[in-house]
Structure 1
Amino acid sequence: MKKFNQNAYAAAFIGQVLAYPFLIATGLQISWNFQLIALLLMTLCLAGTGFVKRYDLMLLLAAIMGLLGAINQWLLLPLIAVQLVITLLLRTQKMPSQWMNTVIFGQALLAQVIIIYACLHFFNRTMLLDLALLYLPALIGLWANHLPKWADLILLLVVGAIGYFQQRMNLIAIAGMLVVALAISSRRSFKLPAYSYQFSPLIMALLLYLTRLHG
């Protein structure tokens, strides 16, 4: 079961890193150069540290791929360094499940910023808003049991309203967001596996893509 959990975390992480950048943010503006490929390999290596015994070698390989990916885009180096440090902490430090999921959310979000910038050579406020709309519902669901009663639902409605009035979400996407966030809510008596939370931003990214695809 532990191996399955590790594989699930890795699959969800990779899915998050790929879904929004390639389905929504970059569109057809992808330049498949060796830097982008190196960054994608870095992502695979970072995910792989969770289920290999010699994670230090995998982390070293990720660092090499990150350095290659930052060639001619040296602004990415600090972000890549943070990615490596986060991965090392996740592999060496024991954390409560909620904190671990929160840190992985941050790691996946940062990886998406790196990929988008590598593809487009810029990152704007609209993309930041989109990522917030993907991850805030997941965080609200994750930490719902630490919030006052009804606060999680109110916060989700606020997120939905922001997405709607900023024309980043339609009513279908908002309804989907509510279903996903309430389904994974830690307030529920029935506890889902810890890795389930990592699939929430991925589902939201796919939902946003489908709703925007169909107008």
Structure 2
Amino acid sequence: MSYVIPAPLQASVPVTGSADSFPVHRLYCVGRNYVEHAKEMGHTGREAPFFFMKPNDAILPVPAGTTGELPYPAQTQDFQHEMELVVAIGKGGSDIGVADALSHVWGYAVGLDMTRRDVQSAAKKQGRPWETGKAFEHSAPIGAITPAALAGDVKHAAITLHVNGELRQSSSIDMLIWNVAETIADLSRYFTLQPGDLIYTGTPAGVAAVQRGDELLGAIDGLDTLRVKIV
């Protein structure tokens, strides 16, 4: 088949210990999925999960052992980090049961949901969508994906983010309000999940602004770390 304009490249993420890559279909994000982060954003309690999306070309893949360059975006004075566990879907489906949800997981990775916080906050106040605050280019850095069978005990893994060597975010995956299986099950009620989908599962407390020159190191036990520099 020929196209009238050049076809875009397939977004993909490197895979730990492999020359192959994971092709990305859709990119889903879960909002306010740690209690302490919900509190710092002015909310409390175990509210029902809610989701937003980024385009798959928001992905900034960073191979293991390298440092990715993350451009500081235009139209913001408050560019914030949100450290997250990313779930890579290998088997699609809709109305997936919680008990079966983890069988749909291909692997896990360390990711950042980068946010123009001032832009997002203005949109919230006006009841408008979040895309300009969340869905811009390079807003979803991600490290290499580790196959689920090799990822260890992700459910209880520690999750941390350091900025210029200083600890900014620290928690455990078992502190998720809605765990990975519950998130997959609920999301699949609204969308038919497809192989290649990525789910950013939410961030712990400690989100804060970064500046050009800052170096971020995200880590989750059992997974490849994610290093990026703001440029």
Is the structural similarity TM-score above 0.5? no
Which structure carries more relative contact order (alpha carbon 8 Å, separation 6+)? 2
Pairwise TM-score range, normalised by the shorter structure: under 0.3
Greater percentage in helix: 1
TM-score under structure 2 length normalisation: 0.24
